Structure 1
Amino acid sequence: MLQTKDYSGTVYGGLGQLLYVYAQAKNLDISEKLKSVQNRERFEFQIWRELLDEINQQVHSPALGLEIAEYVQPKHLGIIAYITQSCDTLGEALTRYYDFHRLIYDGGPLKVEVQNESVSIRWEVLPVQLTTQITDEIALALLVRFLRLYIQLEYIQIEQVNFIQPAPKNTRIYQEFFNAPIQFSQPKVELLLPLKLFSAPCKSPDSTLHQIMMQQAKELLNKLPDGTQLDERLQQSILKGLQKNNYQIETIATQLKMSVRQLQRHLQQQNTTYQERVQEIRQLLATQYLQDPHLSLHEIAILLSYSEQSAFQRAFKLWSGLTPHQWRKNQGEKTK
């Protein structure tokens, strides 16, 4: 069992950018502490709490966490945004969120349990010095915004939201944001969803991943003397497969409604192999991901379906003659 007495987690650097965007939108004073986290991959949860307290002292919002969450964009969520935009259903998206939630918001152990016809998503209680109503509500609000960004809105049905803090004077704000019954002074910070919601379809990718997929598919097709619709579907299937760590040739051939032998023969006619095509796509994706300063090399390795960061680094060195760190540093110098 995870001991939380001395627990000190971290949050993704993109959340620091989210606070900066909110502060600018509200014409708030931007502290040196907030400026200092803008180019960091991660920063301590204690600093996250302090930054929220600083902002709250300026705005005195009755539901600051909900207000900030309204400004979240996929780029603020990092790897989760990349991965989720390739998911087909809410169940798959939440599974990926559970797998990688600590890479975004490591403020406490996340638990997901089925209770009769409902699914409970909750955080374990942290020490008093690390948790407040604001940190709790922004954790739930970010999760709900995450769902609303990627799931078709008519399917978003929340059964209940629970907070451990006492009820504030104005609870209507919470009811309007979550569109669900709200309970305060509860044992856990918790979101209850109907189990049937897990089969709800995700939206078609319409942001970062979609742009990358389209751009990279076109670049790859331009390299082919006789690119076809089949080639375009192949690129997109591999791109999505890499996000899900499910890109084996058998899976991709099934998605393309052809046999493995037919796919291999098609690639052979282009003087290439399936593995070479996967590596081409990995290389192009890697250069895109490395341009996101908040994606760590470990996270990029996950996105490219490498079992270890070292395997990604070796592959990238073969592709470019540089390590990922060197390549990223060179790109940064070019943009100055």
Structure 2
Amino acid sequence: MYVSNDHVGSIYGGLGQLLLTYYQHQNLVPPQKLLDIQDLERFDFMIWRELLTSLHQQLQRPALGLEIAALVEPKHLGILAYLVLSCETLADALRRYHDYHRLVYDGIPLQINVDGELLSIAWDKVPYNLGAQITDEIAIALMMEFLKSILDIENIRLHEVHFEHSVTKNVMLYEQYFRCKVRFGQAKTQVLMAVSELNRPLKKGDQTLQHILKQQAEALLEKLPNTNPADYRLQQTILAGLQNNSFQIEHVAQKMNMSVRQLQRHLQQQGKTYQQRMQEIRCMMATEYLKDPHLSLQEIALLLGYSEQSAFQRAFKQWTKMTPQQWKNEKGPVS
């Protein structure tokens, strides 16, 4: 990882891949420094700022950060995308985005506050000499593109968008993009929207998550003999619960329209407890996730419903007699 004396945080490696995608779309020759970070799990914020400002100086294009962010895909945001895809409302998505934002950018806390009828989504300041308009606008635009394109929220209604840096030319480009008043030279960089927007349902999130879970459940069915439709539903429900922290037996039984006692009886007929079945699923999904070179151990732990990486590592060693890293080195894909 690159390290700077003025270190203010690190960036998820997927954003380096996003920037390379932009270079490719524009038929531009990427700088070596951008190529050097393509295989890194994380890299220093100052590298990110340097790459963005260098590109901005080269192109001299207004609202460049908005253009780059328009290319974002779930893979560029890593585990954050999967975690937010399980949300049902905009409020849930923003809460999850707030809680795990530092997995994408660990350095500037994201603050969400309510003031009367307005919700403020704000980014803390970095020292002025370390920040830049393009880093601010891409941070906001990434969140907006995620909500609009990945979660399929159409016509997100914003009240205002504020940027800390001085007024720029072509303000109209920003106002066309955000569809609201955009102010520069403000006290902080933030997005303001009506609190009433928070109840809006997410149309695409559940569908996308269900597609992912269907693929995972089918893979599990191949490994678990003598499965039936009830087992299939149980596995899908547990998988969904692991990703939104609602995998307790009471919640899973409710989702399956069963009582806890009925679910326990069903598992007893197979000689299993709920905890044993859940750990089976966790173990099998852990080995699948460990094959993905873009997922860190911390991210895999979150996907499996562990709040701490150390708890996942202890459980994995109980399941396989190996640490996750040992398993990855021995059985993971050859790099």
Using the size of structure 1 for normalisation, the TM-score is 0.91
Structure ranking higher on relative contact order (CA contacts 8 Å, 6+ apart): 1
Partner of 2:190, secondary structure, is strand
Distance between the aligned counterparts of 1:19 and 1:79, measured in 2? 18
Taking only aligned residues, the RMSD between alpha carbons, in angstroms, comes to 2.0
Partner of 1:159, secondary structure, is strand
Tell me the equivalent position of 2:251.
Answer: 251
Kindly indicate whether the alpha-carbon contact (under 8 Å) linking 1:87 and 1:93 is maintained by their aligned counterparts in 2: yes
Q: Which amino acid aligns with 1:129?
A: N
CA gap of 1:34–1:206, structure 2 versus 1, over 3 A, is farther
**Aligned residue runs from structure 1 range 1-336, under 5 A:** 8-154=8-154, 156-202=156-202, 203-207=204-208, 209-222=209-222, 223-228=224-229, 230-330=230-330, 334=334, 336=335
Distance between the aligned counterparts of 1:75 and 1:34, measured in 2? 18
Distance between the aligned counterparts of 2:149 and 2:285, measured in 1? 23
Q: Which amino acid aligns with 1:238?
A: I
The CA deviation string for residues 24-63 of structure 1, in whole angstroms up to 9 with x for no partner, is 1111121121111111111111111011122223322211
Distance between the aligned counterparts of 2:253 and 2:333, measured in 1? 42
Q: How many Å apart are 1:266 and its aligned residue?
A: 1.2
Distance between the aligned counterparts of 1:112 and 1:247, measured in 2? 27
Q: How many Å apart are 1:269 and its aligned residue?
A: 2.0
Distance between the aligned counterparts of 1:7 and 1:200, measured in 2? 38
Q: How many Å apart are 1:314 and its aligned residue?
A: 2.5
The CA deviation string for residues 82-103 of structure 1, in whole angstroms up to 9 with x for no partner, is 1011111111111111111111
The CA deviation string for residues 136-177 of structure 1, in whole angstroms up to 9 with x for no partner, is 100100111121134443362111111112222211211122
Query: Which deviates the most, 105-114 or 83-92?
Result: 105-114
Gap regions ≥5 residues in structure 1 = none
Q: How many Å apart are 1:218 and its aligned residue?
A: 1.4
The CA deviation string for residues 238-258 of structure 1, in whole angstroms up to 9 with x for no partner, is 111111222100111111121
Q: How many Å apart are 1:210 and its aligned residue?
A: 4.1
Kindly indicate whether the alpha-carbon contact (under 8 Å) linking 2:221 and 2:232 is maintained by their aligned counterparts in 1: yes
Q: Which amino acid aligns with 1:105?
A: Y
Q: How many Å apart are 1:22 and its aligned residue?
A: 0.9
Task: Tell me the percent identity.
Answer: 52
Query: Which deviates the most, 89-98 or 272-281?
Result: 272-281
Aligned length: 329
CA gap of 1:226–1:15, structure 2 versus 1, over 3 A, is closer
Q: How many Å apart are 1:271 and its aligned residue?
A: 2.6
Kindly indicate whether the alpha-carbon contact (under 8 Å) linking 1:7 and 1:126 is maintained by their aligned counterparts in 2: no
Q: Which amino acid aligns with 2:199?
A: S
Partner of 2:154, secondary structure, is helix
Distance between the aligned counterparts of 2:239 and 2:42, measured in 1? 27
Q: How many Å apart are 1:291 and its aligned residue?
A: 2.9
CA gap of 1:153–1:244, structure 2 versus 1, over 3 A, is closer
Q: How many Å apart are 1:107 and its aligned residue?
A: 4.3
Q: Which amino acid aligns with 2:138?
A: I
Distance between the aligned counterparts of 1:44 and 1:116, measured in 2? 37
Distance between the aligned counterparts of 1:141 and 1:284, measured in 2? 36
Kindly indicate whether the alpha-carbon contact (under 8 Å) linking 1:9 and 1:45 is maintained by their aligned counterparts in 2: yes
Q: How many Å apart are 1:219 and its aligned residue?
A: 2.7
Using the size of structure 2 for normalisation, the TM-score is 0.91
The CA deviation string for residues 49-79 of structure 1, in whole angstroms up to 9 with x for no partner, is 0111222233222111101001100000011
Q: How many Å apart are 1:201 and its aligned residue?
A: 1.2
